[in-house]
Chains A and B, each alone.
Chain A
């Protein structure tokens, strides 16, 4: 009985008070996206997350306009200076302006992290859910590939290959993707195996809906929460992976900078010149926090049983 109680209050999980839409017949229904957007907008912290994220993106794109310094230019008159009027975030040992470098590093990291996360999730979802639903030979081969990739020492290969291409940051995207999707795919596969037994999946089959359509419409959307959480975690872990590569001298290489390489540089002087570490680290924290808030909001908006979406 207790379990049935919450559902009792699901009368109007959509929005407007009952009856508000009754006398507007022409648009027979709201678009699904608009519906989700409304639910998302009701979640205050998610909106804060979006604002922070938009500001970060704006900062990474437009931040360079506000300073005379370029990320690659060195100011030999100001080596290892704390933040001041001319160098807002201070300078490093080589006289590079940290503000300009953070702008550039954030941009690099954002591009790498976002594209790797998106690609990883898409591949993982399609392979994992597809393997689970289609079963048979497809499933066996997909699992074999996943398990093979899981036991391959990926970090070593990453390091070697990225070293060979001498630190071109664009190569990092496919590399990190190739060695990043299988764990998520494995999790998605195991969750999807229970989804394929659901009544509505069976019903869709009986209605003659094609198999890939069932995967895309009925299986993958149900993994929404899982995908979004993995996506957010993926951004963080990609930044970290790129950091560790850069730290070891394999990833983004000087003179190019990323948030990761800035952190690696700054971590050595955290007591003598804390600003070298503090500003990139602050940006990284803002980035991950904002993406997490957005992720939470999306999950609640997409989840029809979420009370948060219905109540607020």
Chain B
């Protein structure tokens, strides 16, 4: 790490007193209020904050891409050149040439109708007078640099022929095409899987080293920050509330909000499962920020003078600025000292034995068709094959894997309560494939409920809360009076105020909406709750309180959870047992403790090592396994091990074992603390 007093390189960008105002129905809303930033060549500044904190608005105003109706004031100097107020033509000369951009969604950042090589070559030609051939050569060079295999050939392919991670590499190639002085990366890995995220972050490092540019990294993931930032600015309610070198910030945060953020992230390395330390409440909406410090309503250290005046960003140590009057009291304290840790839920009384859910050899295929008019079946997508597990009451079982690994398909197959394509599904000991009388089927229906990832999509926006909560009860045949009582009961259970009953879902914040969907799922007193990425759509500070709620409900009601999640830190925090899925197969399963402590399968190991740890020192010093390539399509499964093509272990094996990996699919076998499907362990 560089010495804190003299940052390496020259100052590339300086932002002073940047204010961004959006027009809304309720009058102007200030999304960004007086932000100062400095970026130096060859260094990465991470802008961290929750949704609505103004981090993206800051980035878009720097590159002049604010939507119409928004106004930016202040000063943005790129090498001494004022960028604010430049007309579009002059701004275009800056964008792409001197500032490169990487956005969250690589699909919409590329034009679908041109080959990627052409797009990169065009980016080169827009800003410098070179021949077409020279630009093409440069494009191939750039694609090679960002790690696209066989760039000569791949340059002629179109964006849809690339996977998400490969597309993001192309976007990075576009961003560095003209050797920019500044790269702005807005949530560059949020849409990607963890193993791919690790690759892309490496590529971004390469891009930075190659161009010597300053990088503005916008993210909500503290693990990414810990691994890849030099400096961090934490934003809250449109302002920078704390700014420091990355090591300093993680070691000694001085603002209660930063401290709270660090406390609410479950650590993938935690050994004992304590309730998380949540920050109470939710970030204020831009239109109704309180007077004084915007964090005051959620702050456990709040004093009267916090509510009078918003504190200015002041230097409390070398290169460590904080906007908090209590900074001196925060320094050196741990999150759990400052924020009240939720009470540890009492261990549930062991409910009746016997599994709530038993899945045996579950399989599901989808036809792959071609042609729009005459559909021909050209193949079979083996989404899930031979998945078996069982869940007891009071137990949390997690399915882990990247997108496309068949987790969600497995869930849907279970929830459908119809005879599966192959295998059996038993709920409460009853095989759903059997001919069941209607009341029995209804009982099973009520016993299994689901909470979906996106609470916004899961709640019909047209129905008020009462109707939403009453719906499952009416379907279950509750009478009007009983429905009313139960609705109020579940509302209390998830900790929402009773006066929310005639509000619409839009009136609630993300965390409250997720509480609503949980309340809805609990209405019919289920035995098994299926949670599909229950917190991934929520802000970090809100995640913690929802996870604590789930833990409390589980022990209070003796529920069983079947959780699908990609965030291993979250999984580590809630799971009792885990199954790791790859291409529709369970490759390793076992108790959470054993699996995290001693992963056996090479994929599990890679997956665990790809999870960023929110601690800069450990994150930078540990050895990590970065997998090659990406998950192949489930339409053509290999004859051997499904993971063989990416396996980091295989090249080190004896040739006959390598041969075996390619020809015979391994079966799940007990090995050490877990059950693994791998020839080599």
Residues of A with Cβ closer than 8 Å to B?
1-2, 4-14, 21-22, 25, 28-30, 32, 35, 198-200, 203-204, 206-210, 213, 217-218, 221-222, 224, 302, 304-305, 307, 310-311
Contacts and interface: CB of A to CB of B under 8 A. Distances in A.
Given A203-B450, A221-B462, A304 B25 contact: no
A13 B504 contact: yes
A5 B286 contact: yes
Given A8-B287, A198-B457, A304-B461, A2 B70 contact: yes
A305 B462 CA distance: 9
B502 A29 contact: yes
Nearest to A24: B499
Contacts of A14: 502-504, 507
Contacts of A204: 471, 475
Contacts of A1: 31, 51-52, 54-57, 60
27 contacts: A1-B51, A1-B55, A1-B56, A1-B60, A2-B57, A4-B52, A5-B52, A5-B286, A6-B24, A7-B506, A9-B286, A11-B285, A11-B287, A11-B288, A14-B503, A30-B502, A32-B464, A199-B458, A203-B450, A207-B471, A207-B472, A207-B524, A208-B472, A213-B475, A218-B460, A222-B462, A304-B506
B484 interface: yes
Contacts of B66: 2
Interface stretch (B87-95, B146-154, B251-259, B441-449): B441-449
**Among B31, B452, B474, B475: residue with most chain A CB under 10 A:** B475
Contact of A304 (B24, B285, B499, B504): B504
B576 to A, nearest CB: 24
**Among A10, A21, A213, A302: residue with most chain B CB under 10 A:** A10
A218 B288 CA distance: 32
Contact of B475 (A6, A208, A302): A208
A5 B26 CA distance: 11
Nearest to A305: B506
Interface residues of B, number: 57
Contacts of B31: 1, 5
Given A28-B484, A304-B504, A9 B285 contact: yes
B26 to A, nearest CB: 5
B22 A2 contact: yes
Contact of A28 (B459, B501, B520): B501
A199 B25 CA distance: 29
**Among A9, A224, A310: residue with most chain B CB under 10 A:** A9
A207 B449 contact: yes
Contact of A9 (B29, B55, B476, B488): B29
A75 to B, nearest CB: 55
A206 B52 CA distance: 33
Nearest to A2: B67
A218 B463 CA distance: 9
Given A9-B24, A22-B499, A302 B462 contact: yes
A310 B504 CA distance: 11
Contact of A29 (B26, B448, B466): B466
Contacts of A6: 24-25
Interface of B: 22, 24-26, 29, 31, 51-52, 54-57, 60, 66-67, 70, 285-288, 415, 442, 445-446, 448-450, 452, 454, 457-464, 466-467, 471-472, 474-476, 484, 488, 498-499, 501-507, 520, 524
Contacts of A32: 464, 467
Nearest to B58: A1
B287 A9 contact: yes
Nearest to A22: B499
A112 B101 CA distance: 60
A203 B449 CA distance: 9
Contact of B476 (A25, A200, A208): A208
Contacts of A29: 464, 466, 501-502
Contacts of A12: 507
Contacts of A9: 24-26, 29, 285-288
B154 to A, nearest CB: 33
A168 B655 CA distance: 91
B502 A200 contact: no
Nearest to A209: B475
Nearest to A312: B25
B53 to A, nearest CB: 9
A217 B471 CA distance: 10
Nearest to B283: A8
Nearest to A219: B460
Contacts of B448: 206
A208 B442 contact: yes
Contacts of B457: 198-200
Given A1-B57, A209-B472, A310-B25, 4 more contacts: A1-B51, A204-B471, A304-B504, A311-B26
Contacts of A4: 51-52
Contact of A208 (B445, B460, B463, B499): B445
A151 B285 CA distance: 53
3 smallest beta-carbon distances between A and B, as pairs: A8-B285, A1-B56, A29-B502
**Among A30, A199, A221, A307: residue with most chain B CB under 10 A:** A199
Contacts of B56: 1
Nearest to A31: B502
A210 B441 CA distance: 13
A5 B237 CA distance: 12
Contact of B25 (A22, A198, A213, A311): A311
Contacts of A217: 460, 463, 471
B313 to A, nearest CB: 21
Nearest to B468: A200
Contact of A35 (B26, B286, B288, B464): B464
A7 to B, nearest CB: 7
A9 B30 CA distance: 12
